Structure 1
Amino acid sequence: MSTHREFAAVILAAGKGTRLKSGLHKVLHNIAGRPIIEHLMASVAALAPSRTIVIVGDERKQVEDQVSDRAECVVQEPQLGTGHAVAQAKAALAGFAGDVLMLLGDAPFIKPETMQQMLDRLRSPDAPAVVVLGFEPDDPLQYGRVITHADSTIEKMVEFKDANEAERACRLCNSGLMAARAEDLFDLLDRLDNDNVQGEYYLPDIVNIAVKDGRTCAAVTTDRPDEVAGINSRRELAQAEAQWQELKRTEAMENGVTLKAPETVFFSWDTELAADVTVEPNVVFGPGVTVAAGARIRAFSHLEGASVGEDCSVGPYARLRPGAVMEKGAFVGNFVEMKKATLGEGAKASHLTYLGDAEVGAGANIGAGTITCNYDGYFKYKTVIGERAFIGSNSALIAPVRIGADAIVAAGSAVSRDVGDGDLRMVRGEQVVKPGWADRFHDAMKKKKAAEKKG
């Protein structure tokens, strides 16, 4: 058989997810800052399917809003089981002559390589009617079992409650993920019945129907049970997050990143760290962060939507918000916040500073307590600080304002007008000295307090 047939992915995402106790559809809950279903769709997209169909039902608008730009959404109403869900794709796939990969929207960690293995087995010379992805968990619990022959062809599928003692001893469990040719799939689905306690149409039953017809069905086994883990509760969501984070930490370290305390570092789905980056304990990366070689992210820093250049240093206790850019060798220290701001090569803001909507030139120094006043309650304005400029501590730069190259802003200044290249700007009230005033004040207050006590 051809190993280059086109395929369609059918993703089941119609379930209610009642155990999550949430108004948000379960496949839209985040893992590593990305909705569950987006993890799955990214893996599917890596195989370039001809069609991607998402079966929606409960809270369907939420799911449609998330995926409809990349997938066809088909409604399952009422929701009568997994077999019934896949059957809803029949009209959408009318005339489609390729293969169909059936996936679960709440099982996000299936790898492209595993899906490809399922398709390759489907296209092998013995032409199995259905391919099932099996797994062997440490504790089989009450998973349905896949009973196979020695050659991994399937004898039958059996639900745990219907299995005998020998069948329950089988450790190969059904993941719920399957593949079949379109022409076989919908014929088998048409023959399903709902003669069971739940009154539902179960997808695994298509295997038993095919086997009774004398057709071959085959099992493919993943050696990673966590690859097919479903998410149906807050506890399982937390476990999935922990699983993803552990994999990402391992990947980062294998790629040359130093994590001083790996278990305390949290990544986002798209975090990119180059080799020779060092990350200290208790750092959180939100979405959209890239860090170049040689940079150091110090303890208790939070980065999101930020680009950190080569040999930069961030933190400790720094916050880089979306649009923050640090060029080579730049430095931000403790309690510095950047938002939509660029810190030029070698520039530094060592502590207690806010840089918002700002452009800081190479080699500039931003003193402690400096803020760019970028918002007037209605609009945002930009601050531009030239190369090698020196901004004294406790300065307020009231945007829009431009500080020239090599300029100096004296400590404690509130600058609302542009400062020319090489100029000094000092904006302070006149210092007044009254000799002996404080001593006289203290004497008067002490006498007053003593009189009150006598009275």
Structure 2
Amino acid sequence: MSDRKPATAVLLAAGLGTRMKSSLPKAQHPLAGRPMLQHLIESCSAVFDRIIVVVGPGMEALEKAARPHTVVVQAERLGTAHAAMQAAGLFGEGDVAVLYADNPLITQSTLERLLATRRTTGTGLALLAMRPADPARYGRLVTRPDGEGGETVDRIVEWADASPEQRSIGLCNAGVLCAEARRFAGWLAQVRNENANHEYYLTDVVALAASEGAQVRYVEAPEEELRGINSRAELAEAEAVIQRRLRLRAMANGATLVAPETVFFSADTILGRDVTVHPNVVFGPGVTVGDGTEIRAFSHLEGAFIGERAMIGPFARLRPGTQVDAAAHVGNFVELKGTHLGAGAKANHLAYLGDATIGARSNVGAGTITCNYDGVSKHRTIIGEDVFVGSNSTLVAPLSLGDRAFVAAGSSITSSVPADGLAFGRARQETRADRAIELRARIRKEKR
């Protein structure tokens, strides 16, 4: 039985993200349909035993996004070391890593390497580093040989304070630190705010650890994974990274993406095997697609469950609460909301079906709508099995059509129809011989 003590991840999420020019906290901005904070939580949950999230005052929505993990509030924004100190009383006795919520692309494997490096004999403090194509204003890692064929980090020099020689260093700080809880808390307590901004900086922990003789080692990872998000442009770049990952995952799991670069997923999208997704399809949050289903071009799906061997689109819209059963068809310019389309049922053209239950093998004709809203409340339409609804029909809810009912094209149906019933709900047609000649003559005369 292992006697290893629990490891804790502290996620700093109190930043306002001034450069985002938004009323949302930075960590609440969405990537692939969920707040960026939740992406980092997902990676950390696979590696660490506990997660603590540090937020700023008035960030109730972000606190909700952090649930069920522990949340502490940094009442005053006095710097990153100060933010980490707010969680120091919860560090416990194992290893602690401090991460930034605006670094949501860090993978599980990188965090595992970080923790393994910290637990290597003699490593007092481990950190993440990268070699960006453009080091720009990143802090540089000043290192020296450790006598064992590797390197130890002496300090991090911020770009503004670096000499020309130090600015030429390609190895840059990614901001993530990991150490034994007691030592980490001690170093945090020693950080001072003797700088131009009078803030307590987490990076000062590196020099403090080195000054005490602690072995400081770094774990290098790709820039794509460690980049921070501080602007809308960087948010878009991060979205592109996550979408590439999600597309590769979908294809590795057995889905065909005809034009992968045009398909956009949410982080929780689930595709079965032998699913085919055509170009320009968007998956919002909460979509599951069964094996063998085909999603045709220009469709938008959100909060929907789709069974096996179904056909969706092109140009279909599935809104939250929709369930499409096996072998059902949802065709071009058909919108479903809160609707259950039974096995083998079809709505192939130009329809709105809201708050409806449609039985197996029923056919809904082009131009059909369920009138589900009366201006105050939503009402449900229940359509049985093997029902035929003719084109351009209006079904005024609440309403039910029994099994095998038949609704004539162009009908406005306001009363329920029994099983095997035939319903007409349209005005009687009148035809007047030769009146078209008279009508055209009058129109031409009025046009002069």
State the TM bucket, normalised to the shorter chain.
over 0.9
Q: Secondary structure at the match of 1:91?
A: helix
Q: Deviations over 1:335-364 (max 9, x none)?
A: 100011111111111101111111111111
Q: State the shift of 1:147 in Å.
A: 2.9
Selected match of 2:96 from 94, 100, 118: 100
2:251 and 2:374 map into 1 onto residues whose CA distance is 45
What SS does structure 2 have at the residue aligned with 1:153? strand
Is the 8 Å Cα contact of residues 371 and 396 (structure 1) preserved in structure 2?
A: yes
SS of residue matched to 2:360: coil
Of 366, 369, 372 in structure 1, the residue corresponding to residue 367 of structure 2 is 369
Cα deviation code 1:272-327 (max 9, x no counterpart) = 11121111111111001111111111111110011111111111111000111111
**Residue in 1 aligned with 2:135?**
140
Query: Deviation per CA, 1:57-108, whole angstroms, max 9, x where unpaired?
Result: 365344334335422223241x222222212223344xx2122110101111
Q: Distance in 2 between matches of 1:116 and 1:330?
A: 44
Is this contact kept in 1: 2:55–2:71, CA < 8 A?
Answer: no
Counterpart residue identity of residue 221, structure 1: E
The answer to whether 1:293 aligns with 2:291 is yes
1:326-405 maps to which residues of 2 (within 5 A)? Answer: 326-405=324-403
2:185 maps to 186
CA distance in 1, matches of 2:442, 2:81: 90
* Residue matched to 1:430: 428
Amino acid at match of 2:97: L
Q: Conserved in 2, the CA contact under 8 Å of 1:119 and 1:179?
A: yes
SS at match of 1:333: strand
Cα distance between partner residues in 1 of 2:417 and 2:375: 25
Structure 1 residues 20-60: Cα deviation after superposition (integer angstroms, max 9, x where no partner)? 1111111111111111111111222223523x322223653
Q: How far apart, in 2, do the equivalents of 1:389 and 1:40 lie?
A: 49
Q: Which has the higher mean CA deviation after the structures are superposed, 62-71 or 321-330? A: 62-71
Query: Is the aligned partner of 1:247 residue 2:242?
Result: no
Partner of 2:28: 28
Between the aligned partners of 1:225 and 1:3, the Cα distance in structure 2 is 35
Structure 1: gaps of 5 or more residues: none
* Structure 2 unaligned blocks of 5 or more: none
* 316-325 or 246-255: bigger deviation: 246-255
Q: How does 1:132-281 map to 2 (within 5 A)?
A: 132-148=127-143, 149=145, 150-222=149-221, 224-281=222-279
* Letter of the 1:131 counterpart: A
Aligned-residue offset at 1:428? 1.6
Aligned to 1:302: 300
Deviation at 1:183, TM superposition (A): 0.8
Deviation at 1:157, TM superposition (A): 2.5
**Contact 2:8–2:48 (8 Å) recurs in 1:** no
Moved more, 333-342 or 415-424: 415-424
Q: Give the Cα–Cα distance (whole angstroms) in 1 for the partners of residues 235 and 57 of structure 2.
A: 19
Is 1:314 the counterpart of 2:309? The answer is: no
In 1, the alpha carbon distance for the partners of 2:116 and 2:440 equals: 90
For the aligned residues, what is the CA RMSD? 2.0
- Correspondence 1:71-110 to 2 at 5 A: 71-77=70-76, 79-93=77-91, 96-110=92-106
Q: Distance in 1 between matches of 2:93 and 2:410?
A: 74
Q: What is the CA-CA distance between 1:160 and the residue it aligns to?
A: 2.6
Moved more, 358-367 or 421-430: 421-430
Report if the CA contact (8 A) 1:335-1:351 is conserved: yes
| Cα distance in 2 for residues equivalent to 1:449 and 1:142 | 75
- Contact 1:109–1:227, Cα closer than 8 Å, also in 2: yes
Residue of structure 2 equivalent to 1:114: 110
How far apart in 2 are the matches of 1:56 and 1:428?
61
Identical aligned residues as a percent: 47
Higher deviation after alignment, 153-162 or 56-65: 56-65
Q: Distance in 2 between matches of 1:71 and 1:316?
A: 44
Q: More displaced, 213-222 or 330-339?
A: 213-222
Q: Give secondary structure in 2 for the equivalent of 1:207.
A: helix
| 1:239-270 deviation line (CA, Å, top 9, x unaligned) | 11111112211222222221122111111111
- Greater mean deviation of Cα atoms: 405-414 or 80-89: 80-89
Q: Contact 2:57–2:73 (CA<8 Å) still a contact in 1?
A: no
Deviation at 1:190, TM superposition (A): 1.8
8 Å contact 1:3–1:124 — kept in the other structure? Answer: no
**How many Å separate the matches in 1 of 2:400 and 2:313?**
27
Q: Secondary structure at the match of 1:236?
A: helix
- The size of the alignment, in residue pairs, is 443
* Secondary structure in 1 matching 2:151: coil
Q: Distance in 2 between matches of 1:13 and 1:315?
A: 40
Supply the AA of the counterpart residue of 2:137: Q
Q: Deviations over 1:135-188 (max 9, x none)?
A: 122222221122332423323322233334443333221110011111101211
CA contact (8 A) 2:390 2:410 kept: yes
State the SS of the aligned residue for 1:129.
Answer: strand
